[in-house]
Amino acid sequence: MRTLSAEDKAVGQDNYHEAVGFTRREFLQGVIAAGAVSGAGLGAMYFGYEKFANPVRVGVVGTGDEGNVLIGGCTPEYVQVTAIADIRPYSVYRAFHGDWTTPTRPGLIKQYKYTNEEEARKSVKVYDASNGGIDAMLKDDSIEAIIIALPLHLHAPIAIKAMMAGKHVLTEKLMAHNVAQCKVMARLSKELKSSSGQPLHLATGHQRHYSVLYDNAVHLLRWGMLGQLHHIRAQWHRGNLPGNDSWQPPLVGGDPDSKV
């Protein structure tokens, strides 16, 4: 194995400081200028998105554990959740109030700074078994996009229905139950238009796919900061310690001492 000389080490160190110093400096300057302080705000700044005059109006289908995480990932400056759909009253409750098990499920009230559930419901319509559910939501012309956080076997059917209704779609992973369904979804997204006549967008929320940390790591590699690489091995652990994200969720009412 070749041993690095003092000169090699010095060159590598200079390259590191040049790359990291530039990206960190420019990135932080942009963050400070924009006043971005939240994690979602930092991501928007990193990827170069400007605030929208009119945030995208979104309906969330499925407000269980993952649906609530996705609600917590919506930045109000870019996305306005105007509707939710779930057949379980408990999941609807958590969509508004969040739960104490993790800060990634803050709930609509906290995320959008509503005073209470009554105020939130004036801006967020709830679709359930009593008023037509998902099918009724898809007929709402004011909704531009759908976030799907349902069991896997429902990803493709609901995504296809949504695109047929002219809605953009972000579906949780996996994209669909099989390759054939994925091909149908991809083809429809290319062939169909939104209700405003724009090309439809279909996206899948793969694990950490939109993380600024991973994207920055890829850029550093492409810039050649580490030289020529022949192999990369990456490992990641969520670090869910017992009780941090328990299988015993809080009961309706938010009492941390009450569990199902």
**What is the pTM for the complete model shown?**
0.76
For residue 252, what pLDDT is reported?
56
> Which ranges in 36-132 belong to alpha helices (H)?
39-46, 65-72, 89-97, 108-111, 117-121
- Rounded-to-integer distance, Cα 35 and Cα 251, Å: 37
34 assigned to some structural domain:
no
Q: Please enumerate in sequence order all residues whose Cβ is within 8 A of that of 37, keeping only pairs 6 or more positions apart, or say none.
A: none
Q: What separation, in Å, do the N-terminal and C-terminal C-alpha atoms of the chain show? A: 58
- Rounded-to-integer distance, Cα 30 and Cα 32, Å: 5
Which carries the bigger pLDDT value, residue 64 or residue 250? 64
Residue 96 burial (10 A CB sphere; 0-12, 13-18, 19+): buried
Q: What is the 3-state secondary structure (H, E, C) of 110-169?
A: HHCCCCCHHHHHCCCEEECCCCCHHHHHHCCCCCCEEEECCCHHHHHHHHHHHHHCCCEE
Q: For residue 170, is pLDDT > 50? A: yes
Q: How many domains does the chain have?
A: 1
For residue 7, what pLDDT is reported?
74
Q: Please enumerate in sequence order all residues whose Cβ is within 8 A of that of 249, keeping only pairs 6 or more positions apart, or say none.
A: 65, 94, 99, 101, 259, 260
- Counting residues of the chain whose pLDDT is more than 90, the rounded percentage is 52
106 assigned to some structural domain:
yes
Q: Which helix (H) or strand (E) holds 77?
A: none
Question: What b/e string do you get for 71-92 counting C-beta neighbours within 10 Å, with b at 16 or more?
Answer: bbbbbebbbbbbbbbbeeeebb
Tokens, residue 188:
């429809």
Lowest mean pLDDT among 5-14, 154-163, 226-235: 5-14
30 assigned to some structural domain:
no
pLDDT tens for each residue of 187-208: 999 999 988 888 999 999 988 7
46 assigned to some structural domain:
no
How far from 103 is each of 35, 54, 67, 244, CA to CA, in Å?
22, 27, 14, 10
pLDDT tens for each residue of 12-21: 666 655 554 5
How far from 234 is each of 115, 148, 223, 227, CA to CA, in Å?
43, 28, 19, 18
For residue 210, what pLDDT is reported?
75
Which carries the bigger pLDDT value, residue 70 or residue 41? 70
190 assigned to some structural domain:
yes
15 assigned to some structural domain:
no
pLDDT tens for each residue of 110-121: 999 999 999 999
Structural domain boundaries, residue 187 = 56-205
Q: What is the mean pLDDT of the chain?
A: 82
Question: CATH number for the domain including 176?
Answer: 3.40.50.720
Q: Which helix (H) or strand (E) holds 102?
A: none
28 assigned to some structural domain:
no
Q: For residue 50, is pLDDT > 70? A: no
164 assigned to some structural domain:
yes
Q: For residue 243, is pLDDT > 90? A: no
- Rounded-to-integer distance, Cα 174 and Cα 206, Å: 7
- Rounded-to-integer distance, Cα 215 and Cα 46, Å: 9
